[in-house]
Amino acid sequence: MTHSPDVETTVSGDPLTATAIVRDVTSGARSAAEVARQSLEVVAEWEPKVQAFEFLDPALVVAQAQGVDRVAVKGPLAGVTLAVKDVIATKDMPTGHNTARYKGVQTGVDAACVDTLRAAGAIVLGKAVTTEFASTARGGKTRNPHDLTRTPGGSSSGSAAAVACGMAAVGLGTQTGGSTIRPASFNGIFGWKPTWNVISREGLKVYSLTCDTLGLYARDINDFDMLADVFDLDPCDVPQSLEGLRVGFCRTPMWEKAEAPMRAAMDAAALALKSAGAQVIEVELPDIFNGIAEAHGVILAREGRSAFLNEVRNTPDIGVQYRDLVSNARGITPESARAAYALADRCRASFDEIMGGFDVMMTPSSCGEAPEGLESTGDASLNSMWTLLQVPVVSAPGLTGPHGMPLGISFVARRYGDRKAIKVAGLAAPLFEQTGDDLT
C-alpha cells in the first residue's frame, strides 16, 4: 500500500524543491515566475483536498516572483516558495492565528525570519493553517496528503502538509511542544527544529519564550543546508558518512507513549544505521530527566499565563484553555516555577555532558502514525523534552507504519550542532526509505 503523494515533480515535471528551484533560477533554466506558476498548478491540484492555506493570493505570488526575476544578482534562495504558518507575521498578507480577533489583521512588518528569507530571494506562497495561536492540539481544517481522513499533525499543520504535497518548497512552522517535528513525522518530510534562538523568533506569536522555536520543513535535505547558510548557523564537525558514527538510541522517559509501530520503526532505523557502519548505543538518561516532562508543563503554564493575558482581557469569548492559563488554574506557585526552570537548566547542562560521548541521538519524531480524523493533531509527549532542552532536532522520513503512513526518526545534536543533525538525517533517510520499501 502506498499513500505517498507524487511530491517531487510538478504537472510539467520540473522539481519544486528549494535546491532545484535555486539551481534553475540562478542558471536561467526557469524564471522565478515560472516556478511560481508551476507551484500554483500544484496548489490547484492539491489545495482543494488538503486545505493547507489560510490565505493564498496567486497574483501576490506571481508579483513576488517577478520581483525576484528583476534582480540581477540572484539571492541564495532565489524563487524558493514558502508556506508560512499563520502565527508568523507577514507584511503583505494577513496574520490571523486561526482566531476570530486577528482575522484579516495586517501586521505591516515581516517576522524577522521572513524578512531574512525574502532578502535571500524567497517568495511567500501563502499563510498556512495553524491551530489557534499554535497552542492547542485541536485540529484545523488541514488534511494529511498521505491520507485525507487523517490529521497532518499540528500546530504547524498547513506548512507541513503544503510541503508534503509539493505546493511549497519550504515550510515555516513553530514548536513549543512538538509542533514542528510531529507533523514532519506524520507527513513524511524532513523537519528541523533549530537550536533555540539561533533563528530570531521576532514576529512569531509568543506562548513560551523558553520553548517557542521557529521550525522548518523541506522534502530535500539539501534545502536545510541552504537554509542553514542563509540563517548563518554555526559551523560544526559534520560527518561525511555514517561509518563509525556514535548514535545514541534514546527512548526518553516518555517511552511508554511510543506506540508499537514507532518502536518497530526505531528498531528498523537502528538496524539500518548499524548496517551502514554506525554504532548505535542505548542511552540511559540520569534520573533528573524523569522530571522534565512535568517541568515542561509547569514552564508552559507559567509563561502562557503572561503570554495570553492580553488576549483574554480583550476577548470575552476566548476559549477556556486560555482563561485557565491566565487564571493560573493549575495553581503554579513561584516556588514550583523556579524549581521547573532549575530542573530544565540542570538537564541542559547534563545533556551537554552526555553528548560528549555521542555524535547524535536518535529518538522518535512522534508517538506513532498520524491519528485518524481531524479533531486531534496528535500527542507531543515524545517531543517536548527536546524543546525544553533547546537542542536541534531534525526528523528524517522514509519509514512507514502498518497503515502505510509515514513515521519520522529524529536526530538530536548538542546546542549549535544543527548542521550535524541535518547531515546525519540526510545520510539516514535514504536507508530508511530502502528499509520501508523492504517492509512493504
147 vs 303, beta carbon nearer a second copy? 303
Q: Which residues contact 438 (CB under 8 A, 6 or more apart)?
A: none
32 vs 120, beta carbon nearer a second copy? 120
173 vs 194, beta carbon nearer a second copy? 194
C-alpha cell at 245: 558514527
- By CB under 8 A, tell whether 113 contacts a second copy: yes
Closest contact distance (angstroms) between CB of 273 and a second copy is 25
**Alpha-carbon gap, residue 305 to 384, rounded angstroms:** 19
C-alpha cell at 73: 544578482
- List the x/- string, 280-309, binding to a second copy by CB under 8 A: -----------------------x-xxx-x
What is the sign, positive or negative, of the torsion defined by CA atoms of 278, 280, 281, 283?
positive
116 vs 366, beta carbon nearer a second copy? 116
Q: Which residues contact 24 (CB under 8 A, 6 or more apart)?
A: 14, 30, 35, 79
**Alpha-carbon gap, residue 166 to 219, rounded angstroms:** 8
Catalytic choice (159, 179, 185, 208): 179
- By CB under 8 A, tell whether 55 contacts a second copy: no
Residue at grid coordinates 530502502: 434
How, if at all, do strands 393-400 and 279-282 pair? unpaired
- By CB under 8 A, tell whether 326 contacts a second copy: yes
49 vs 338, beta carbon nearer a second copy? 338
| SS3 call for 346 | helix
96 vs 145, beta carbon nearer a second copy? 96
Catalytic choice (39, 135, 155, 159): 155
- By CB under 8 A, tell whether 417 contacts a second copy: yes
Shortest CA distance to 156 belongs to which of 119, 122, 185? 185
Is 85 marked active-site?
yes
Closest contact distance (angstroms) between CB of 439 and a second copy is 38
91 Cα distance to chain centroid:
22
- By CB under 8 A, tell whether 206 contacts a second copy: yes
- By CB under 8 A, tell whether 26 contacts a second copy: no
**Alpha-carbon gap, residue 85 to 298, rounded angstroms:** 26
**Alpha-carbon gap, residue 111 to 119, rounded angstroms:** 12
Shortest CA distance to 426 belongs to which of 221, 124, 265? 221
Q: Choose which of 200, 279, 321, 376 interacts with a second copy (CB under 8 A).
A: 200
Q: According to CB under 8 A, which residues from 230 to 269 bind a second copy? A: 231-232, 234, 236
Q: How many residues bind a second copy (CB under 8 A)?
A: 50
Closest contact distance (angstroms) between CB of 156 and a second copy is 19
Q: Give kind and range of the element (H or E) at residue 436.
A: helix 418-439
Q: Choose which of 74, 205, 296, 423 interacts with a second copy (CB under 8 A).
A: 205
**Alpha-carbon gap, residue 414 to 76, rounded angstroms:** 27
Q: Choose which of 49, 103, 274, 338 interacts with a second copy (CB under 8 A).
A: 338
| SS3 call for 272 | helix
124 vs 374, beta carbon nearer a second copy? 124
- List the x/- string, 82-111, binding to a second copy by CB under 8 A: --------------------x--xxxxxx-
Closest contact distance (angstroms) between CB of 308 and a second copy is 8
- By CB under 8 A, tell whether 201 contacts a second copy: yes
CA-CA distances (angstroms) from residue 182 to 64, 280, 365, 378?
31, 23, 6, 8
Shortest CA distance to 365 belongs to which of 184, 187, 240, 172? 184
Q: What are phi and psi of 93, to 5 degrees?
A: -140, 145
Catalytic choice (39, 74, 85, 365): 85
Q: Choose which of 60, 62, 63, 112 interacts with a second copy (CB under 8 A).
A: 112
Closest contact distance (angstroms) between CB of 129 and a second copy is 20
- List the x/- string, 351-370, binding to a second copy by CB under 8 A: -x------------------
Q: According to CB under 8 A, which residues from 120 to 149 bind a second copy? A: 120
Supply angle C-alpha 71, 72, 74, rounded to 5: 75
98 vs 187, beta carbon nearer a second copy? 98
Q: Quick check: 77 and 120 in contact, CB under 8 A?
A: yes
**Alpha-carbon gap, residue 53 to 28, rounded angstroms:** 29
**Alpha-carbon gap, residue 69 to 78, rounded angstroms:** 8
**Contact footprint for a second copy (CB under 8 A):** 102, 105-110, 112-113, 115-116, 119-120, 197-202, 205-206, 209, 231-232, 234, 236, 303, 305-307, 309-310, 313-314, 326, 333-334, 337-338, 341-342, 345-346, 348-349, 352, 414-417
Tell me the catalytic residues: 85, 155, 179
